Structure 1
Amino acid sequence: MYEANTAVIGRVVTHPVRRVLQNGEQLLSFRLASTARRYDQGAGDWVDGGTLYLTVSCWRRGIIDGVEASLQRGDPIIAYGQLRSNEYTTRDGAERTDLEMRALALGPDLGRCTAPVVRKTFGRPDRTDPVERPSVDADTAGEPATTHS
């Protein structure tokens, strides 16, 4: 079966929870809400449309560790991964469908927040190149960028 990758922009609505499965594999999951918004000319304001809720599942160790260290409930994020629908029956006998994204990449939505970047070294101490960032101070315009550690 072909599974298309897609991006969803939204907000983390539950605390990310890490679980260890019976086979020893680790899983981290949380719920994500994405609300459509549009500008209403008549009202002169933005109005909310429908909200899409989905479960984001993280299976890769790098993503699990990164989410655990970086994201929490309420954070605006961009999630990218494979969407699947899971059908199940509740204890009451009701049929339900849950939308799940198996995350390939996650990160903060920098249009709605700021976030420091801490690069992982992946066990190779020789790969800790400092990040060069231009100075934002007007008095130092035109000078070489400073290195932040």
Structure 2
Amino acid sequence: MLDLIASLLADKELDCRLDHPITEARAAFNRAIAEKKTGPIKRLLVEDAVLVTGTDSGVISGRDAQVEVWRADFAQAGRFVYVRTPRCVLPSEEEPIVTELGTWVGKPEKADGSEVRGDYTAKWREVEGKWKLEAEIFTTVKSRDALAL
């Protein structure tokens, strides 16, 4: 799916790039997930941030609600660690906002060969000189269960 989106973007000659400050913000979010730290996650979200989950399209509305979901996730035994990898960053020519397109993968903290992966899109906004997430939509495209191998 992401290849299709990328080819459509190329046809429109949009400025699809990775040399933007949100790539470092995304890396900080990934580190926070890996290190089980909710503080950095909270700082990267606007107050009314929205997340749509990849498999069941559950909606998590608000920064505090998202932080609570991460806090509960970090406490679980056998939790998955998620890494989001930007593939395309599209700055707006009109507003201090950016669209990020990428892929994500989740693997158990204690590797067992299982994984889940997919595509995502995110909307970032510059707020007082810092880039913050306003919205993320995830799509699960593949999962591999170690027991099924």
Instruction: With the length of structure 1 as denominator, give the TM-score of the two structures.
Output: 0.25
Q: Which has the larger share of helix?
A: 2
Which of the pair has the greater relative contact order for Cα pairs under 8 Å at 6+ separation? 2
Q: Which has the larger share of strand?
A: 1
Q: Which has the larger radius of gyration?
A: 1
Instruction: With the length of structure 2 as denominator, give the TM-score of the two structures.
Output: 0.25
